[in-house]
Structure 1
Amino acid sequence: MKKAPTNPNRLPLIKLIHVARRELRMDDDTYRLMLAGMKGLDGATSTADLSVPNLHRVLEQLKLRGFTVRPSKAQQRPMAADGQSRKIRSMWLTLHDLGAVRDPSEEALAKFVLNMTGVAALQWLKGSQASRVIENLKQWQQRIELAPATAKEGV
């Protein structure tokens, strides 16, 4: 069978199809049988023989079998850049430097904010919610910074 024309969109699709195949634990024979049985692929049994539209069809078939596409890190939403969000992030990293926070990642911060406010991302916080998070982080930081001094004084 003739190779499909080169297209910059082909390689990412082929990689995604192979990820799906691995996650579905589909062996080579089962995968090739699935391809051979799909209408419109003209009996192709390899992604190398498929055009971009047909690669999309294969991916859709794999989704029907239970594969879910997870967004890559590059596709995740951008970080909040407003003043309050930057302050929250800065305080979070300071608490990490003080040893109070184990995971300094944006994901860990988002979980902390979610537990406190019920809002899953800094971008979605209202001003009053962001202020509450900042005040909570300030109090946490004060407790951490005062803890060694009070221990030395015997209190």
Structure 2
Amino acid sequence: MALPRKMISKIKVAQGQLGLSDAEYRKILREKFRKKSCTELSLVQANQLIRIFQSMGWEPQGWLPGVSQGIQDDRQSKKIQALWITLHQAGVIRDGSDKALMSFCKRMTKTADHPGKDHLRFCIPAERSVIIETLKSMAKREGVDVG
């Protein structure tokens, strides 16, 4: 039985939002399921793949393209938002919106192999730490006291 189109779309959205390159995505399929494409997965395997993506930080609930998802509730994300707002109020950052912060997040997590992560919720704690330290460095360079 063919995998439902909705499930394939969900997998592709997760791949994109996690910033997985095609090579990384196919490596997961090959290592975990011995498959080359998600269309070869059974429904059970597709659900297992979704759980793998969730363990990597992807949250499928309530995702809509172009709709702000707000800032996560964890300590690191709150600190990032506080630093962002402080730097905006000090005139260091021109746009203090969540959308601008997510663009910054994407640039900070971009590598040669990854297009970058679209939201803080997809970042692992180590990536959030790098974002925090970068914002703190910006503040120090500009003479802004962030405590």
Q: TM-score scaled to structure 2, two decimals?
A: 0.47
Larger RCO: 1 or 2 (CA < 8 Å, sep 6+): 2
Q: TM-score scaled to structure 1, two decimals?
A: 0.45
